[in-house]
Chains A and B, each alone.
Chain A
Amino acid sequence: MTRLAVSAPGEKMAAVQDGGSEPEGEKEPQPELPSDGSSAPAATPASKPEEQQQQQQQTLLAVLQFLKRNKLIESVDALRREAGLADEPDEAPGSEAGGGVGGAAAGSADSADASALLSRVAGAAQSGAASAPAKGGEDQPDVSVVLSAYSQQGDPSLYQVYYSGLKKFIESVLDCHRAELSQLFYPLFVHMYLELVYNNHESEAKAFFEKFSGDQECYYQDDLRVLSGLTKKEHMKGNETLLDFRTSKFVLRISRDSYQLLKRHLQERQNNQIWNIIQEHLYIDIFDGMPRSKSQIDSMSGSLAGEARREANKAKVFYGLLKEPEIEVPLDDEDEEAENEEGKPKKKKPKKDSMGSKSKKQDPNAPQQNRIPLPELKDSDKLDKIMYMKEATKRIRLGPETLPSICFYTFLNVYQGLTAVDFTDDSSLIAGGFADSTVRVWSVTPKKLRKVKSAADLSLIDKESDDVLERIMDEKTASESKILYGHSGPVYGVSFSPDRNYLLSSSEDGTVRLWSLQTFTCLVAYKGHNYPVWDTQFSPYGYYFVSGGHDRVARLWATDHYQPLRMFAGHLGDITCTRFHPNSNYVATGSADRTIRLWDVLNGHCVRVFTGHKGPIHSLAFSPNGKYLASGSTDGRVLLWDLGHGLMIGELKGHTDTVYALKFSRDGEILASGSMDNTVRLWDAFKAFDDVETDDFTAATGHIHLPDNSQELLLGTYLTKATPVIHLHFTRRNLLLAAGSYNSQ
């Protein structure tokens, strides 16, 4: 038992939120429920142990009841087991009982009493009430109920006293604890301010804000600005930022020592106000061990809802790559092709062998081949794979000494309207999404874009002829570019299917559209997001795609279903970018809440939550081996993550503006980042991943010491001519392509 959950209702909510999808996850949280403060909101930490026990019992019963109602039998059993069910009152959390707050676990679970107790619990505390309606819809919490949590009254004039009292205390503690306890400032500040506003103490709220807003960490500036505008109770309704604060518990990681210190202080001072807030709105994740340093804390904090809980990153992630399908290339075929192309039949053989051997050994970290069903390879796909292998043999091996050449695709005459770009994997097509609702596709090879002939003309074609695929194309329509009309708002995301037959586009109009690149017409409009869709991407194996937008839900679709297959809910802000893992089993989403989440496509679970960015995340990239993730945000920093361990393993500082594009080279040695600051930067990804020392402790706690080595890792900075870089792509031979629109201002 390394953790102490201080507040129960939140836990319940969390349980509810996760419950639907992840029942087994409940086992862990439940035992910590005993330290429930919400069932007795006014209860002081110093209240008598008997009383506490009584309350604990009630809470436990309420939880049980709740779980039963939700048919979470497994969890109920687990809880009963762990709580010692009938007659073991001082079982597991006994240690916490000494602290006075988290009392001992309640003993008897009389199911007959449960319903009565539940009603009492729900009625007793408004905060308790908050948790109940949350059952209804996690996405759209009932505002009034949520807000009512703030109705607790305290003397408004004393808020400043409370806060400065705590401040004084934290400033007086030992250095090692101070950094940790300072994390409390921001969430406390926010919630106290909101409480004041909610209770119509406008002037006190203003004074409070002015007095203490300067103390907060600079990376909370954006949120503070939103808060500063909010001065009336009426404003709180419909304010998303506020809802985020309220519906999610701000997560803090604090070492046990520091926590004890805080607890003792608050007990001594009888500082109920602060204690209540901590209990209701904060989730303190307590760990045993050395307190973290300021820099460690800073590197992980910054998201809208604090850090990720440690258990959020414990699930196993199969980050390995899928086995390459064995493509049987008939030898004579091979020779033919080779002769046709360059007459190098020799090189082929060894290469094919190597490919075969590679695909034979199964990566232990890889998911089962059929963990999610993948489309079968068509002949054309196989041909493409062969092309890919051929190209791969000609690939340049990059490194700090051999940097890639960079080609820049400049979009001209777009009048600031270019909003998204994508290349096909073989770099033969480029698509642009524009603010004028159009999608344009260009061929960047001499091969022009042609439409398929009309049905009438097609019926005339000799279908038996060998070149039927050529015959179906209408030569008259050949042109360098095609325009796709259909959206009714700016197109914020475009993505080619791996087989180059389809193109996806997501737009402000709330739809994702699938276009055929054979006929250059729209095939499907996927409606599901009712708000702007900021990004979409095809799975590396085609068929599936993911989209995410303003409604904070990422959706997984299959091209032949008009409704989403999975909905990934959990972000507290807009989903700004979405990426598929190379093995297609996971989806990463970056959000305006400054977190990155990794979702399991199979079951829709959130398996990783990464915090540490200080601004909305606008770009993501998986390393080709599937092991790492890179993310870029508006603060100009690029962070590197280890998916297997769920750790931040690197920070790349250098950009001065939003990083809109990230891409690993084909072999993963180089990470290229493109930004609004009109530069492309190349980073030594190999070194960045190699330098990380992951001993058991850091791996277990997630407290990593980030080396500040951005300058060593930066291999080059390449300026464009007043052209923000919004997309990057490595060709199969490791030539770096960048794209952006010339900005004449």
Chain B
Amino acid sequence: MTETREERRFAEVPRESIKLMAESAGVELGDDVAAMLAEDVCYRLREATQNSSQFMRHAKRRKLTVEDFNRALRWSNTETICGYGAQDALPFRPLKEGELFFVEDREVNLVELALATNIPKGCAETMVRVHVSYLDGKGNLEPQGTVPSAVQSLSDDLLKYYQQITRAILGEDPHLMKVALLDLQSNSKIAALLPYFVYVISGVKSVSHDLDQLNRLLHMVKSLVQNPYLYLGSYVRSLVSSVMYCILEPLAASINPLNDHWTLRDYAALLLSHIFWTHGDLVSGLYHQILLSLQKVLSDPVRPLCSHYGAVVGLHALGWKAVERVLYPHLPAYWANLQAVLDDYSVSNAQVKADGHKVYGAILVAVERLLKMKAVSLSASAEGGAAALQGSVGGMMGFRESSPGLSPPPEPLSEPPLGIASHLQAGGAGCQWEEWTPVSLPDMYCELYSFFGDSLAVRFSTGPALGGAPSATPIQSSDTRKEPGSGAANLESTRKMPQLTANMNISPRQDGSPRTEPAPPSLATAPGRLGGAPKRKKGGQSRDIFPKARFPPPQVGPPAFSFLIGGRQMGRRCQGRRFQTSFTPTPSLTSLPPRAYAHKLPVIGRVSKPVRRWTCSHYSLYLPL
């Protein structure tokens, strides 16, 4: 009897269930009655199932739906089952304690639904579209989504490898995937397959609903990029566009707030910077293009916040220069939008607001990095003009070779190796950073503070050297501490500091370490004061241990400056909130005009009205010279 039961291929309702149901209806059933009922129920269930299949067949579907089953019930004069007609799959879950299974039925907040601003559009209209599929019986016989035909012409081994690898990476087994990725990263004989892998990766657009697949594809990109035997050539562009897709697009997966698409975007951004730093020289104008598209997204208020987030982390990953040039000038305009979101406390806005905080956080991190790196660069460039060049070139190469992990790609001081400046100048008319003028650090800080208030200040406050000692050590510590998450973001606004316009052309070069030509010796900011700073950077090794190796030098040199940054409390109680670095002090703060939009700051960042204080105060940026 028991064996036969195992062999059965259809559902059985145990008599216990029957008894339970009877009890719930207030009837006491004997064992034998329950058994008979159970058997009959099973039989009727099977019958209804068999009957329902014909509705499926005639609807020309492969999938049996609840509706089909209900029809079968209706035609056998049985009550239908309501409430399960949704198109989505209904997961059947067990309850941990007790043998209870149920269909997950999440509560829907009707208020939220009713007040939601993003009312889903109605179903698209049914339509018929015609296309010539096969002309004279000839046509592409490949079904979509399978191996492109050219692959077929590859050698058998390669083909097999291609299939195995793609299957492993996109398959279910995480271990297999790891092995495949590792091999992809180190195999020296797969150059012929590169186009096809790139093709596979370009499939990100078709799996935007599946975070897991996206992740896998990104990992594939990473492996390809890291494979030292592969010359990516112009495929870089395609890879970059795939990665950019993951960073910027409002993925289908983002619709569900439970999906952690943020991590995906972070990872993709990291990957982007990695590709860029290692292979950016393969395609000219790439940097420019990337910045352009990031900027476009950022300046498009219609885009969802997750796209903006992507743009911010993308900029952040591209280095503080990018932040300075794109994000910073954009911030005032963008801030208003973000703030509107953050200030909306209505229930329907909760999700959007949460997203807004994400963006806020990303901007904060980017900006922090910007400030820090700018400070570092100022000091560094102040100290070593020509040496910087050497260092960065060496660094470049060192990085190229030793990039096992992606994690620290942003090479803070060296800007894109290709002539950015020329792109920027020659590049698309009207793009914002064209008329970009470096902003002095204090100005920048002031402005940023007006946005972020203390939450920015707090980020700089934890350095060990509290007293505003003019040593450079704090930078190091704070730098290392923040390293993982932060990239320098720097914002620059075009307007003030007319005295710097002369440096405009070269300025991008200066901050980044140009690859080819020596950078102009001194930095934009206070060339006069810092003039003749000794050089102290050395080439190669600075790369590996970058923060430490690179920045210690500043402190050796005589003109190490430190400044103190503080929020509004600074003057009053928290004297300790200072940030020290060696940098070239900038002209007086007073020149910074108060920002009107400072008033609009959300509560998070702003504590009081910093504007007044800034304009008059000297303690916000305290420069112990």
Contacts and interface: CB of A to CB of B under 8 A. Distances in A.
A576 interface: yes
A232 interface: yes
Interface stretch (A84-92, A258-266, A402-410, A468-476): A402-410
Interface in A390-447: 402-419, 430, 432, 434-435, 440, 442, 444
Interface stretch (A146-154, A177-185, A716-724): A716-724
Contacts of B50: 225-226
B618 interface: no
Given A413-B125, A574-B54, A658-B57, A231 B43 contact: yes
Contact of B60 (A410, A440, A442, A724): A724
Interface in A203-244: 206, 210, 225-226, 229-232, 234-235, 239
B133 A413 contact: no
Given A231-B43, A412-B129, A676-B62, A403 B137 contact: yes
Given A232-B43, A403-B136, A660 B60 contact: yes
Given A210-B4, A226-B50, A413 B123 contact: yes
A435 B59 CA distance: 7
Contacts of B67: 435
A490 interface: yes
Contacts of B9: 225
A490 B57 contact: no
A406 B132 contact: yes
Contacts of A574: 54
B572 interface: no
Contacts of A532: 55, 58, 75
Contacts of B60: 418-419, 658, 660, 676, 724, 726
B625 interface: no
Nearest to B50: A226
B537 to A, nearest CB: 57
Interface residues of B, number: 46
Contact of A430 (B123, B124, B128, B133): B128
B4 A409 contact: no
B40 to A, nearest CB: 7
Contacts of A722: 144
Contact of A409 (B87, B130, B134, B142): B130
> What is the predominant secondary structure among interface residues of chain B facing chain A?
mixed
Interface string B27-68: 000000000000110110011001000110111111101010
A745 B63 CA distance: 10
Interface residues of A, number: 70
A211 to B, nearest CB: 11
B597 interface: no
A276 interface: no
A664 interface: no
A682 interface: yes
Contacts of B47: 229, 239
A160 interface: no
Contacts of B144: 721-722
Nearest to A226: B50
A616 interface: yes
A492 interface: yes
Interface string B1-22: 0001001011000000000000
B61 A718 contact: no
B250 to A, nearest CB: 19
Interface string B130-163: 1111111111011110000000000000000000
A407 B143 contact: no
Q: Which of B10, B87, B126 has the most CB of A within 10 A?
A: B126
Contacts of A195: none
B548 interface: no
B426 interface: no
A611 B558 CA distance: 102
B71 interface: yes
B137 A410 contact: no
Nearest to B10: A229
Contacts of B7: 210
Contact of A444 (B54, B128, B137): B128
22 contacts: A235-B40, A239-B47, A402-B136, A405-B137, A408-B130, A411-B128, A413-B125, A417-B59, A419-B60, A435-B67, A440-B126, A489-B71, A492-B59, A508-B55, A616-B57, A618-B57, A676-B62, A678-B143, A718-B133, A718-B137, A720-B133, A738-B133
Interface of A: 206, 210, 225-226, 229-232, 234-235, 239, 402-419, 430, 432, 434-435, 440, 442, 444, 481, 489-490, 492, 508, 531-532, 534, 550, 574, 576, 592, 616, 618, 634, 657-658, 660, 676, 678, 682, 715-722, 724, 726, 738-739, 745
Given A410-B130, A413-B124, 17 more contacts: A225-B50, A226-B50, A235-B40, A403-B138, A404-B136, A406-B132, A408-B133, A409-B128, A412-B124, A415-B87, A432-B128, A434-B126, A435-B59, A492-B59, A550-B54, A550-B75, A718-B134
